[in-house]
Amino acid sequence: MSSRTAEIRVPPECRKMIRAGALVVLNHSGGKDSQSMTILLSRIVPRAQLVAVHAPLGEVEWEGTVPHVEATLPAGVPLVMAPVSSGKSLLDHVEERGKFPGIRQRWCTATHKRGPIERELRRYLNANPRFGGRLINCLGIRRDESAARAKRVPWRRNERLSVAGREVFDWLPIFDLSTGDVFRVIRDAGQSPHWIYRHLSRCSCSFCIFSSPEDLRRAAELRPELYRQYVEIERRIGHTLSPSGTPLPELTGISPSGSAGGEDAMALGSPRSWSAAARRPLARRNSLKSPCPESGAAQGSG
Ligand code: SF4
């Protein structure tokens, strides 16, 4: 798909809701997918019906993410921040639970993104009765990202939020776009993607459970202090960030002090002595794709 044809297919029911004045929510993580979705939707939805929402992840988010979201929003589109109401960080929750999020127990997205975003959407609709409780919740999810995402339905009623006089639909406007398409959309709009794409393949938490070993290595180089915290937490709780069960120093080849390799990883405690149950083949780990959408009610990465 070329940049000229990177257009959004609007389902008839969605078109009808936009014409009827529904609120259109741009879930924006700061990643390329939500940025390109924002550009494309701002061309077809009246500005007065648009609002962006971002779930800030604080210390684990890449520097400059919120300013990037702000700088790339169309003029006049408000940005609603959706922090965790307890004020606790993702790492606080890891320590409390004694484990990192996992493939099947991806509480990081539910607790730090979906929950706070849904809370803010309910508040926003209540404070703006002109939308009549109608909301189109847009997520930058693409079918190319993974086999699981390819099965997603691009337009679907959100049953959980469609209560108490609200009518809410989830829409995946860029579902059919390729990675090349989204970067072209950004470039053709005269914008730049988040700076982290110069170093990593995804814009997610700096250390994400779905990051490739190469992205984790680059993140460790870019954020040595945060990396040290993750390694110390892994050691303290006896559970690894990587669902493979492989400790970070072994995955990245970087010790928290910055010197290379396995000897330092050994000094932190032999990986062999860690929970055997948590260890699964690295090959499986490498095949994982992020199911954390870079936008939205599960805003995420991409
Ligand atoms: S980016 Fe990764 S670690 Fe962060 S919330 Fe999403 S899935 Fe969890």
Structural domains of the chain in order of their starting residue, each with its CATH number? 12-180 (3.40.50.620), 194-296 (no CATH)
Mutation to probe ligand 1, out of 194, 208, 239 (largest number of atoms < 8 A from CB): 208
Question: Can you give the pLDDT at residue 104?
Answer: 86
Of all protein residues, the one whose alpha carbon is nearest to atom 4 of ligand 1 is 205
Mutation to probe ligand 1, out of 210, 241, 289 (largest number of atoms < 8 A from CB): 210
Q: Pick the closest to residue 227 from 200, 263, 193, 251 (CA basis).
A: 251
Would you give the DSSP letter of residue 65? H
Residue 203 beta carbon below 6 angstroms from any ligand 1 atom: no
Determine contact, residues 274/246, Cβ cutoff 8 Å.
no
**Tens-digit pLDDT profile for residues 175-187:** 999 999 999 999 9
Question: Can you give the pLDDT at residue 302?
Answer: 60
- The model carries a pTM of 0.85
Question: Can you give the pLDDT at residue 257?
Answer: 73
Residue 108 beta carbon below 6 angstroms from any ligand 1 atom: yes
Encode the chain (302 residues) as per-residue pLDDT tens digits: 544 456 789 999 999 999 999 999 999 999 999 999 999 999 999 999 999 999 999 999 999 999 999 999 999 999 999 999 999 999 999 999 999 999 889 999 999 999 999 999 999 999 999 999 999 999 999 999 989 899 999 999 999 999 989 999 999 999 999 999 999 999 999 999 999 999 999 999 999 999 999 999 999 999 999 999 999 999 999 999 999 999 999 999 999 875 444 333 333 332 223 333 233 333 333 333 444 544 334 454 56
Question: Can you give the pLDDT at residue 4?
Answer: 46
Residue 301 beta carbon below 6 angstroms from any ligand 1 atom: yes
Helices (H), 146-286: 147-150, 179-188, 213-222, 224-237, 248-252, 262-267, 282-286
The Cα–Cα gap between 140 and 293 comes to: 7
Mutation to probe ligand 1, out of 94, 106, 109 (largest number of atoms < 8 A from CB): 109
Determine contact, residues 65/30, Cβ cutoff 8 Å.
yes
With residues binned 3-state (H G I as helix, E B as strand, rest as coil), the percentages for the chain, rounded to 5, are 45, 10, 45
Residue 206 beta carbon below 6 angstroms from any ligand 1 atom: no
Residue 30 beta carbon below 6 angstroms from any ligand 1 atom: no
Residue 210 beta carbon below 6 angstroms from any ligand 1 atom: yes
For the record, the structure tokens of 296 come out as 């939205």
Question: Can you give the pLDDT at residue 27?
Answer: 98
Residue 216 beta carbon below 6 angstroms from any ligand 1 atom: no
Q: Which atom of ligand 1 is nearest to the CA of 101?
A: 8
